Amino acid sequence: MNSSSTPSIVTLQSHILEQQSHFPEASGTLSWVLSALSISAKVIADKVRHARLENVLGSVGSENVQGEVQQKLDVIANEVLLRTLGGREGVAIVASEENEEPVILRDNKGGDRRYCVLFDPLDGSSNLDVCGGVGTIFSILAHDRRADGAQASLLQPGVRQVAAGYVLYGSSTVFVLTLGKGVDMFVLDPGIGAYMRVEQGLRIPTQCKSYSVNEGNRKSFPTGFQRYLDWAQERDYSSRYAGAMVGDVHRILLKGGVFMYPPTRKAPNGKLRLMYEANPMSMIIEQAGGKALCAPGERVLEVRPTDIHQRTPLVLGSAEEVDHVMRHLVEPVR
Ligand code: AHG
Ligand code: MN
Ligand code: MN
């Protein structure tokens, strides 16, 4: 094979440095933040794989700020992220699903640019006991020094995200990243401990007859969603739902289809959290050419947040499939 047809080996680290060179004003601070996230994800991947052997499955017996049962690994993954990001000079504030209040790591002073990192340390953690795929989701915002306090700096709409990504701890560990110029995918090579780039400029298929939603809640969905499900089932759509957003959205990014978490009687704004679940996933899907809406004509990324833990209804995926859902939300479609 001649060298021009041999794909080059690019690690996540070299990819980030390569991207940094496209921004002449970049100081390397963001690269260090991303490196902290990638190291955290290696540690969490290892903990997830050893969970049963080290007896850290199951709940801790307490609830997080959402009133949801915390798994032991939710707490462990959260600590790993806090400790790794805490050591990086470029991180000003972190906010996590597992902490009621944001953690201020560094004050507003100093000349260098700093970032806020928001994350869901372990998404789909109720799947852990059954060896299902789980993930970490993160969103990075520029720290607003003029803002009055941590909350004010964090409450920026998703369009202002500087970077976003997720890590899927599945049959392999997959790191998906966007820096606002497309979506790239890396797989952790356990033999050498590095993430290798396997896809560049990922594009989501524009259509795929597949939906991903918790159909057990169907009777309490707004009628538009019920009309959509009738419409899709008449057209032989497939249903695929893992109950872990990272796994479900990863499948949709690669194969196409639509993922939804509609409002329900129990959760009138849906269940998913805007700032560290919906926003980062929406940025990835849009950067891959898909759509992410919270209502007809309303992009998730344009929602002005008022609370770091607020929830939002979510419909994202292949552009044409999201359109089919939205048509049914505005009017009955024959
Ligand atoms: P988390 O484990 O971080 O609380 O997130 C679970 C979320 C998400 O991953 C998934 O899409 C959704 O909850 C599943 O909810 P239902 O069980 O209500 O379908
Ligand atoms: Mn989650
Ligand atoms: Mn979680």
Interior angle at CA 110, CA 31 and CA 19, nearest 5: 15
Ligand 1 within 6 A of CB of 120: yes
The closest ligand to the CA of 316 turns out to be 1
Angle between helices 29-50 and 72-86 (to 10 degrees): 150
Q: Which residue, by CA, sits nearest to atom 11 of ligand 1?
A: 245
Give pLDDT, residue 111.
63
Q: Which residues contact 299 (CB under 8 A, 6 or more apart)?
A: 159, 282, 286, 292, 293
Global pTM? 0.96
Listed in sequence order, the residues at least 6 apart from 280 whose beta carbon sits closer than 8 Å to its beta carbon are 118, 137, 138, 139, 158, 161, 164, 165, 166
Contact 282, 316 (CB under 8 A): yes
Q: What is the pLDDT of residues 38-84, one digit of tens each?
A: 999 999 999 999 999 988 888 888 777 777 888 899 999 999 999 99
Q: Is any ligand 1 atom within 6 A of the Cβ of residue 123?
A: yes
Is residue 269 scored above 50 in pLDDT? yes
Pocket test for ligand 1, best of 69, 130, 168, 261 (most atoms within 8 A of CB): 261
> Of all residues in the chain, what percent carry a pLDDT higher than 70?
97
Q: How confident is the model at residue 168 (pLDDT cuts 50, 70, 90)?
A: very high
Any idea which ligand is nearest the CA of 127?
A: 1
Instruction: Say how many Å lie between the CA of residue 110 and the centre of ligand 2.
Output: 34
**Which atom of ligand 1 lies nearest, measured to the CA of 259?**
11
Ligand 1 atom 2 nearest Cα: 124
Q: Ligand 1, atom 14: nearest CA belongs to which residue? A: 243
**Phi, psi at 32, each rounded to 5°:** -70, -35
In the reported structure, the alpha carbon of residue 26 is separated from the centroid of ligand 1 by a whole-number distance in angstroms of 36
When pLDDT is cut at 50, 70 and 90, the band that residue 1 belongs to is very low
The residue whose CB lies within 8 Å of the most ligand 1 atoms, and thus the one to mutate among 75, 137, 240, 245, is 245
Q: Is 202 in the pocket of ligand 1 (CB under 6 A)?
A: no
The number of the ligand 1 atom at minimal distance from the alpha carbon of 246 is 9
What's the full length of the chain, in residues? 334
Structure tokens at 186: 């890396």
Q: In what order do the strands lie in the sheet with 134-142?
A: 103-104, 91-96, 115-123, 134-142, 161-169, 173-178, 183-189, 194-199
Q: Is the pLDDT of residue 107 over 80?
A: no
> What angle in degrees, to the nearest 10, is found between the helix axes of 223-234 and 319-330?
130
